[in-house]
Amino acid sequence: MPSRLLPPATGAATVQPSRSRASQPEDLRHIPWLDRLDESERARVLGDLRVVHVAPGELVCRVGRPVTYWFGVIDGLLKMSNDSTLGVPITFTGVPPGGWFGEGTVLKGEVYRYNIQALRKSVVAGITAGTFHWLLDRSIGFNRFVMMQLNERLGQFIAAREIDRLTHPDERVARSLAALFHPLLYPGVGEWLRITQQELGYLVGLSRQRVNEALASLQAAGVIRVEYGGVRVRDLAALRAYRSR
């Protein structure tokens, strides 16, 4: 378990593009939309794709910064939240491996309205906004993927607001954990997610000790199994609908 507190986003460092590298074959296995592209589209992406290693607490995106890339998680865990200077901080969701985010901001060419911060050492990939729009102009497969992302993301954010209103910690943990196992948004997760109680606490806004109690309740209910280094979901539908007794 990490012992230090995650730095507040307002004072955290932002990852610089100069630290990025070209993609490697191992990186490409974790990009779910690549197989939707034809040969010329894939060649354009591979020539544009950049990969960066992000330290815990660093920001990939910061509120108010102009959009330049569309990002995805190759490995690690990120947190999407608003900025504390805008009011009461709200964590919208975590972003585990296989998740791509920010397509709405890229489409509109706006500045970021949220922070994306690494909860642990992470590997993040990105294509430029120019290549993103180029793919939209010519690839049906890519368009379908982005449409699916937007539709599922809308439901996810509505659920995040509902989670924020839940008063029972066990239910907050259940809903937040279920969101990380979304099969369409995060296809790289499957049934097992590498996550610590401290990291889950950062996402839910609870102490590690209280998260531990919630996980024990969820395991007793038969919806998850806590394993070394992570959590396995046994019944995703039941986890999403979990109610404390």
| pLDDT, tens digit (0-9, with 9 covering 90-100), for 17-34 | 789 999 999 999 999 999
99 and 150 inside one domain: yes
pLDDT higher than threshold 70 for residue 2: no
In Å, what is the CA distance from 115 to each residue of 20, 79, 90, 98? 19, 8, 10, 19
Total domains in the chain come to: 2
Lowest mean pLDDT among 3-7, 11-15, 105-109, 148-152: 3-7
Pairing mode of beta strands 50-54, 122-128: antiparallel
Q: For residue 175, give the nearest of 2, 85, 167, 120 by alpha carbon.
A: 167
Residue 174 lies in a domain: yes
pLDDT digits (tens, 9 = 90+) for 44-94: 999 999 999 999 999 999 999 999 999 999 999 999 988 655 555 677 789
156 and 209 inside one domain: no
150 and 198 inside one domain: no
Mean pLDDT score across all residues of the chain: 90
94 and 146 inside one domain: yes
Quote the pLDDT of residue 4.
Answer: 45
151 and 222 inside one domain: no
Helices (H), the chain: 25-28, 39-48, 103-108, 129-138, 140-165, 169-179, 197-204, 208-220, 236-240
Range of the domain at 194: 168-240
Tokens of 123: 């590997």
> What is the distance between the alpha carbons of residues 65 and 36, in angstroms, rounded to a whole number?
30
